[in-house]
Amino acid sequence: MRYTFEPDVEAFRSEVRDFIAAELPAAGGARGRGAVNFEGHGEEYSATMGFQKKLAQRDWLAMAWPKEYGGGGASHMRQLVYNEEMSYAGAPHYSMGIAWVGPSLMLYGTDEQKQRFIPRITGGDDWWCTLYSEPGAGSDLAALQSRAVKDGDDYIINGQKIWTSGGHLADWGWMAARTDPDAPKHKGITMFMLDMKTPGITVRPLINMANREGFNEIFFEDVRVPANQVVGEVNRGWYHMAVALDFERSGIQAFAGGRRTVEGLVALAKSKPELVERRPSIRMELADRAVEVNVGTFLAYRVATMQARGMVPNHEASASKLFGSEMGQRIASTAMHLLGTAGQLRDGSPHEITDQASSYLQAVSGTIAAGTSEIQRGIIATRGLGLPRG
Ligand SMILES: Cc1cc2nc3c(=O)[nH]c(=O)nc-3n(C[C@H](O)[C@H](O)[C@H](O)COP(=O)(O)OP(=O)(O)OC[C@H]3O[C@@H](n4cnc5c(N)ncnc54)[C@H](O)[C@@H]3O)c2cc1C
């Protein structure tokens, strides 16, 4: 069976492909990292931002936003094929500013905040990081303890965040802090926008197991933030936090990126038959991975088609996230089996066949970021299967 979309959506797919063919090679270091490159400094970071500027010029950066806010007003199916093509190409097309800061401002921001921040987000001018997780608050995010205390026209923030992706590169931070420590934990949180250069903010990089600088721990010591950088109602931040308008949330990125990797491994095996000869198990593994990217793609299409019909996917999106992130680890593992000892070589080694060592190490975090596998299974068990909690 071949799954095709409406002709206008397929025509749009071709347009996206042509754009990628023309513009992504020019983005140099931004290529091939998938999603957004949080790791780069200098050249790679500039290439990422440069590519995002090109997307902004076509109104593609904020593809899902309403047109009145400078977005593309795209249907879910257009967003789906856009995400699929960009992810297949490893193009840096995602940003947290687009994903949730801007949408939250549209819903809860003041006119002054909208005018000040939204055009810089749609224009690809500012890079945002998300300051939610803390050492004692991850899956149980409402347990966060960073404090914001009102002082005249300002708030003074003290506390610590952790795992802040791109915090070392960000211009602005989107932060959840506790403004009422006596209220029940979901009811005392407020959202702030922070200039990351404000005195009192210390960004300490955390080098991940792939030896990359992706996330950070960030310390706040008497950080003074003007009250006009509070977004929405004070103490209602929990309810403002997870807003993303009507974004496509199929999880197609994992499957499109996975498909690209599996195709690359198969091509490699064909060009170097010694990698697969007399190794039936590796052929079986590759076959399994090829099946999985197809299965996963249909899980993702299902979520997107539900959204296109006005339904709100819930456990279906969790199933896609769960399967996609665990599949990513299996693909990385298969690559290591295929490559044998060469799989251990790091980027840039003269003997490297393909850069799989870092992918293998990077894949580990996929089942933790954006909701762990256990949390996803919990959602599927309770909301999908109707099993009791606990
Ligand atoms: C690559 C990466 C990027 C990230 N980027 C950001 C970012 O930009 N900003 C940000 O704020 N955060 C970010 N995070 C943090 C991420 O959101 C948290 O790591 C995640 O929510 C898990 O929280 P935790 O690490 O505190 O683990 P915990 O919540 O402490 O979980 C520890 C273990 O307990 C399990 N567990 C917890 N609760 C339950 C439960 N109810 N039922 C069953 N098992 C449970 C978990 O599954 C896990 O195995 C990032 C994380 C990663 C890995």
Tell me the per-residue pLDDT of 275-296, one tens digit each, with 9 for 90 and over.
999 999 999 999 999 999 999 9
- Residue 8 Cβ contacting ligand 1 at under 6 Å: no
Is pLDDT of 40 > 60?
no
- Residue 163 Cβ contacting ligand 1 at under 6 Å: yes
Q: Which residues belong to the active site?
A: 248
Residue 144 has what pLDDT? 98
Tokens of 152: 């005249």
- Residue 138 Cβ contacting ligand 1 at under 6 Å: yes
Question: How far is Cα 261 from Cα 252, in angstroms, rounded to an integer?
Answer: 14
- Residue 372 Cβ contacting ligand 1 at under 6 Å: yes
Cβ atoms 232, 108 nearer than 8 A: yes
- Upper half-sphere CA count for residue 157 (Cβ side, 13 Å): 34
For residue 2, the CA-to-ligand 1 centroid distance in Å is 37
- Over residues 104-110, the mean pLDDT reads 95
Q: How many CB atoms lie within 10 A of CB 55?
A: 24
Best of 139, 169, 215, 241 for a ligand 1 pocket test (most atoms within 8 Å of beta carbon): 139
- Residue 165 Cβ contacting ligand 1 at under 6 Å: yes
Q: What is the dihedral of CA 25, 206, 319, 331, to 10 degrees?
A: 60
- Over residues 123-146, the mean pLDDT reads 96
For residue 372, the CA-to-ligand 1 centroid distance in Å is 6
The pTM for the full model equals 0.94
Q: Residue 161's pLDDT band (boundaries 50, 70, 90)?
A: very high
Nearest CA to ligand 1 atom 52: 369
State what percent of residues in the chain have pLDDT above 90.
Answer: 82
Q: Looking at this protein, which amino acid is placed at residue 78?
A: R
Residue 368 gets which letter from DSSP? T
Q: What is the pLDDT of residues 169-219, one digit of tens each?
A: 999 999 999 999 999 999 999 999 999 999 999 999 999 998 888 999 999
- Over residues 104-113, the mean pLDDT reads 96
